[in-house]
Amino acid sequence: MRTTISVRGRMSDIAIPTSQPEQIGLFDRALRRVASLWRDMASAVAGGAEEGIEAQMRACLDGRGGEVSARNRAARLAQEYLAADEAGRLAFLRALAGFDSDPEMVARAIERVQAARDRAERSAAQAQLRRALEPPRLRLLTQFTTIPDGVKFLVNLRAHLLRAANGDPLLAALEADLKSLLASWFDVGFLDLRRIDWSSPASLLEKLVGYEAVHRIRTWRDLKNRLDSDRRCYAFFHPRMPDEPLIFVEVALVEGMAGSVQRLLDEKAPLLDPREADTAIFYSINNCQRGLAGISFGNFLIKRVVALLGAEFRNLKTFATLSPIPGFCRWLEHALAEDPRLLSEAEAEALLAAAPPPPALPAPEGAAAGPGAAPAGTMPPSGGAQALRRLLARRGWHRDEALAKVLEPVLTRLCARYLLAESDPRDPKRARDPVAHFHLSNGARIERINWKADVSEKGLRESAGLMVNYLYDPAKIEDYHEDYVGEGKRPAATALRRLARGWG
């Protein structure tokens, strides 16, 4: 631990359970504490549970008994959804999705727009058309916000919809409606930015552990290390979900740009006085609510934290990330198979020298060479690629210094190409790597690729241990953002740009 010996002696080193929130039913656990309250509210509704779900929804829309009754009916619907099994929840969603716009009302409203004789009449007709197009299910969804934890209920409802709506047009329409509502309710202007530290409530710290998906928090000692005096953790919260982080970022205050996540998270590393730090490293950013997927907070979070840290610590000169490259090895496997020119001849020779192919069986005497055989004395074009695969498949290859010396220039160059030149197949202006796209969209610059930066099993599997620093220069964030979003330009350090162009 990077704190005092006395504190370290009292800290528990018990491992934290590894299950993620969705895997252990966080949806049910988070709402169980209000389930009894919902049941109490539901018991005040006349009619009882013998009414079907659709009839209950219609009664809720009709507003029988006034606002209090409508709220109690919404509570009963939420409680029944929570108590249902997977099939029952799906039936609930289908019933809710069925409250769509009335096609006859929409047709009549369109006729009035087409028949309008002047601008004023057309404007009034268009307003009527907008009202006709608004499906009643929007009002139903909005009524859930009036019950305790109703907003959280809707966020989790959309998480279920995202899983269930695949290929179902009716559920997809409901999901789109709910996303539109949530996007307006979770506008960044409504969010609170709060620091999370070791004195935060235990329930919040537990959620932090569960939601951390980039670098798993293994022990309470590990967690305390990440919340120490030379570390910062900030999260966005919504006023209607005050105990639920929406997204959080973990920051290390260090000297110089970090190049290894293992060293960055080393519990035995000396504690640094944050007033001596010159660099803030954003090393983990996590979206916490699956139901808010597609509603972006990350760009605002990073910019807010950069401004906050810059005001608190005037000595900070550099703001950068230490980021994973999750798509690199997956891309590399396909690229090696499809493009024999991916490796230079010198690279292929070096790789083959480090991992020579197994001896081939001699061809029968007099047998002709196959159509794909390489001429005598030459190297098969795929030989270097096969050697690279063999080397990366070796267990513990990163601990062999001689082998690492061969692999470093090859993998670093290929990674530079991947980050700077490879595009999403669906959008040529978008970087292929999702983390690169996120940071470039936010106005960052690709600054440095780090060798053996994450030697965890996950890091080796996804990116051959490579990580990348994205630099956030407050003076250039907006320009870089415009260049990437508008024209697909990827700002990068000169050395990386040179490396990505070819074989050096």
For residue 470, what are the β-bridge partners?
446
Distance of alpha carbon 383 from alpha carbon 243, whole angstroms:
56
- Tens digit of each residue's pLDDT, the chain (504 residues): 454 333 333 344 444 444 444 434 444 455 566 666 666 566 656 555 557 889 989 988 887 667 778 888 899 999 899 889 999 999 999 999 999 998 999 999 999 999 999 999 999 999 999 999 999 999 999 999 999 999 999 999 999 999 998 889 999 999 999 999 999 999 999 999 999 999 999 999 999 999 999 999 999 999 999 999 999 999 999 999 999 999 999 999 999 999 999 999 999 999 999 999 999 999 999 999 999 999 988 788 999 999 999 999 999 999 999 999 999 999 999 999 988 789 999 999 999 999 876 765 555 555 444 333 344 443 444 689 999 999 999 999 999 999 999 999 999 999 999 999 999 999 999 999 999 999 999 999 999 999 999 999 999 999 999 999 999 999 999 999 999 999 999 999 999 999 998 644
Distance of alpha carbon 410 from alpha carbon 175, whole angstroms:
45
What is the predicted pLDDT for the residue at 360? 56
**Residue 446 in contact with residue 415, Cβ under 8 Å?**
no
HSE value, Cβ hemisphere, 13 Å, CA-based, for 103: 1
**Residue 78 in contact with residue 149, Cβ under 8 Å?**
no
Q: Catalytic residue among 160, 398, 439, 481, which?
A: 439
What is the predicted pLDDT for the residue at 36? 62
**Residue 297 in contact with residue 247, Cβ under 8 Å?**
yes
Give the 3-state secondary structure of 189-232. HHCEEEECCCCCCHHHHHHHHHHCCCCCCCEHHHHHHHCCCCEE
What is the predicted pLDDT for the residue at 502? 66
Distances (CA, A) of 267 to 222, 294, 322, 342: 7, 35, 18, 40
Distance of alpha carbon 20 from alpha carbon 260, whole angstroms:
25
Over the stretch 309-340, which tens digit does the pLDDT of each residue have? 999 999 999 999 999 999 999 999 999 998 87
Strands 279-287 and 318-321: parallel
323 catalytic per annotation: yes
**Residue 31 in contact with residue 82, Cβ under 8 Å?**
yes
What is the predicted pLDDT for the residue at 34? 67
Q: Catalytic residue among 215, 323, 463, 481, which?
A: 323
Over the stretch 463-502, which tens digit does the pLDDT of each residue have? 999 999 999 999 999 999 999 999 999 999 999 999 998 6
Distance of alpha carbon 89 from alpha carbon 81, whole angstroms:
6
For residue 420, what are the β-bridge partners?
none
CA dihedral sign of residues 202, 205, 209, 215: negative
What is the predicted pLDDT for the residue at 448? 98
CB atoms within 10 A of CB 307: 12
Distance of alpha carbon 321 from alpha carbon 298, whole angstroms:
13
